[in-house]
């Protein structure tokens, strides 16, 4: 039986191809669409439903950032990014140097809330961090994008900031690997897996984290690694004036050591297209040729739809 | 009615085409084939015909230039408008020929065998 491909995109008809990319480490998800007709314009809201006539999902909502008219083919290509692009585009600039954005004694989740609000983003959901910034004096923010400063905050805590498919921003303690309590929301096996590979590497392993804060504030966290020679440390540095006290510096070092002191186990799959799978999902993989039967975190997901069929490429990590 | 394309008389020897559905084939590791139906293409039609006189051939050649569709008429009626994608031609080695519906044309004018590839104007 053949599955009839389905795509519905607001303001576009005669869809020729669609590509949606999202990843844990990307600021936004990106959608690229090629079609014969379009009435949309730069800045318009774009919603994409994708899949099959009998089974489709909303895979993207965001804003059109690029439009290209291809004369020789008579086609229109557009590129769009999700809600967080507003934070990427918003450059925090006070009207006078002495009137910068400022906060004191503020928890991380509320500091991010206020920084996103500068970019007009208020649809925001968060977990409690119990991590307070600006305890030794005001924290001032100026001459930086809203997203970049929020990213610095999330990196200090080793937390995660992202926009979901409905445009809501989430600030959560989501690590880019499987943690206790993770349960799979989707399963894939060899009835839909088209290609697979399984790899291990220590490229991102760091077993020593040094934090340089404001002034003389500094802290170190380190641990031996069973994957490195005894007494050998691969170091990384987190340098930021956002950390203004020793307690926070040590916490930041500890958080990032827990995040980075591990090898990467990666499963790369291409499967028959499944529009219900998003980056950050927990995926159960059963692949007999490689001997895989376990849960993985969807680090990156790319949906590709067109005359060559609908496939989903997954980068899964454990 | 006789076969014409934009009023140019063509003596059709063969008229046929290809039409296809766009179906992707995916092969999962577990075996078998998954089919994804994307759509279908409009027909590509090939016409093999004799063309009488150099001027008729030259007129056919110009039909590949420009973004214009031309009306094709068959003995059964109009077939709609078509874009001329390709014009293939070769001169027949005939020195004396008579076409019943071209009484005013000299018997030794050039006679060409032409192949046209046409796409429908949709």
Nearest chain B residue to A312 by CA distance is: B26
* CB-based contacts of A171, cutoff 8 Å, min separation 6: A108, A109, A112, A124, A125, A126, A127, A154, A159, A160, A161
- B99 confidence band (pLDDT: 50, 70, 90): confident
In this complex, the residue of A190, A196, A272 whose CB is nearest that of residue B34 is A272
Residues of B in contact with A308 (CB under 8 A): 24
Helix, strand, coil fractions of chain B, as percent rounded to 5: 5, 50, 40
Nearest chain A residue to B41 by CA distance is: A307
Given a cut of 90, is residue B1 above it in pLDDT? no
pTM score of the predicted model: 0.87
Please count the other Cβ atoms lying within 10 Å of the Cβ belonging to residue A171: 24
Q: Is B122 on the interface with A (CB under 8 A)?
A: no
In this complex, the residue of B23, B27, B29 whose CB is nearest that of residue A2 is B23
Please count the other Cβ atoms lying within 10 Å of the Cβ belonging to residue A223: 12
- B95 confidence band (pLDDT: 50, 70, 90): confident
Kind of pairing between the strands at B44-52 and B70-74: unpaired
In whole angstroms, what is the distance from residue B18 CA to residue B87 CA? Answer: 17
Residues of B in contact with A197 (CB under 8 A): none
| End-to-end alpha carbon distance in chain A | 35
Q: Is B22 on the interface with A (CB under 8 A)?
A: yes
pLDDT at residue B110, as a whole number? 92
pLDDT at residue A292, as a whole number? 95
Does A3 sit within 8 Å of B34, measured CB to CB? yes
Nearest CA-CA distance, residue A224 and chain B, Å: 40
SS (H, E, C) A203-225: CCCCCEEEEECCCCCEEEEECCC
In this complex, the residue of A192, A195, A309 whose CB is nearest that of residue B36 is A309
Given a cut of 90, is residue B104 above it in pLDDT? no
Does A2 sit within 8 Å of B35, measured CB to CB? yes
pLDDT at residue A313, as a whole number? 98
pLDDT at residue B98, as a whole number? 80
Does A289 sit within 8 Å of B36, measured CB to CB? no
Q: Which two tokens stand for residue B65?
A: 């230039």
Does A4 sit within 8 Å of B26, measured CB to CB? no
**Averaged pLDDT of chain A:** 95
* Contact status, residue A12 vs residue A61, Cβ threshold 8 Å: no
In whole angstroms, what is the distance from residue A259 CA to residue A24 CA? Answer: 14
Best of A72, A308, A312, A313 to disrupt the B interface by mutation (most B CBs within 10 Å)?
A308
Does A3 sit within 8 Å of B37, measured CB to CB? yes
Does A307 sit within 8 Å of B38, measured CB to CB? yes
Residues of B in contact with A191 (CB under 8 A): 28, 30
**Averaged pLDDT of chain B:** 93
pLDDT at residue B66, as a whole number? 83
Q: What mean pLDDT do residues B44-62 have?
A: 96
Q: What are phi and psi of A157, to 5 degrees?
A: -90, -10
Kind of pairing between the strands at A309-317 and B4-5: unpaired
Nearest CA-CA distance, residue A264 and chain B, Å: 25
Q: Which two tokens stand for residue A182?
A: 């993770």
pLDDT at residue A16, as a whole number? 95
pLDDT at residue A66, as a whole number? 96
Residue spans of chain A under pLDDT 70: 1
Given a cut of 90, is residue B107 above it in pLDDT? no
Kind of pairing between the strands at A208-212 and A235-239: parallel
The number of CA neighbours under 13 Å toward the Cβ of A310 is 25
* CB-based contacts of B98, cutoff 8 Å, min separation 6: B107
């Amino acid at each position: 039986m053949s599955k009839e491909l389905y795509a519905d995109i607001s303001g576009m008809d005669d869809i020729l191809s669609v590509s949606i990319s999202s990843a844990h480490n990307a600021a936004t998800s990106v959608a690229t669409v090629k079609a014969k007709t379009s009435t949309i314009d730069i800045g318009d809201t774009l919603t994409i439903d994708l899949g099959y006539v009998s089974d489709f999902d909303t895979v993207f909502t965001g804003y059109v950032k690029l439009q290209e008219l291809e004369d020789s083919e008579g086609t229109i290509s557009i590129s769009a990014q999700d809600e967080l692009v507003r934070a990427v585009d918003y450059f925090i600039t006070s009207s006078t140097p002495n009137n910068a954005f400022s906060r004191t004694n503020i928890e991380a989740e509320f500091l991010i809330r206020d920084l996103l609000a500068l970019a007009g983003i208020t649809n925001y959901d968060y977990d409690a961090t119990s991590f307070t910034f600006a305890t030794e004096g005001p924290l001032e923010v100026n001459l930086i994008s809203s997203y970049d400063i929020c990213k610095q905050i999330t990196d200090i805590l080793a937390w995660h900031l992202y926009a979901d498919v409905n445009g809501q921003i989430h600030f959560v303690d989501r690590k880019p690997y499987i943690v206790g309590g993770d349960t799979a929301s989707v399963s894939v096996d060899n009835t839909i897996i088209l290609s697979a590979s399984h790899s291990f590497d220590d490229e991102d392993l760091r077993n020593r984290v040094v934090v340089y804060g404001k002034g003389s504030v500094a802290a170190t966290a380190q641990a031996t690694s069973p994957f490195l020679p005894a007494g050998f440390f691969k170091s990384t540095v987190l340098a930021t004036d956002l950390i203004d006290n020793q307690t926070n510096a040590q916490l930041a070092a500890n958080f990032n050591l827990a995040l980075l002191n591990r090898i990467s186990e990666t499963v790369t799959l291409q499967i028959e297209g499944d529009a219900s799978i998003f980056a950050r999902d927990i995926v159960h993989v059963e692949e007999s040729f490689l001997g895989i039967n376990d849960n993985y975190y969807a680090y990156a997901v790319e949906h590709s739809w067109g005359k060559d069929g609908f496939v989903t490429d997954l980068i899964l990590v454990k | 009615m006789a076969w014409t394309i934009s009023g140019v008389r063509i003596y059709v020897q063969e008229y046929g085409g290809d039409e296809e559905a766009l179906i992707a084939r995916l092969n999962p590791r577990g075996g078998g084939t998954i089919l994804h139906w994307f759509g279908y293409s409009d027909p590509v039609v090939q016409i093999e015909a004799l063309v009488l006189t150099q001027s008729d051939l030259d007129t056919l050649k110009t039909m590949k230039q420009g973004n214009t569709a031309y009306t094709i008429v068959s003995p059964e009626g109009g077939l709609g408008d078509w874009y001329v994608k390709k014009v293939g031609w070769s001169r027949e080695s005939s020195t004396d020929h008579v076409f019943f519906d071209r009484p005013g044309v000299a018997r030794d004018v050039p006679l060409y065998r032409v192949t046209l590839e046409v796409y429908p104007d949709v």
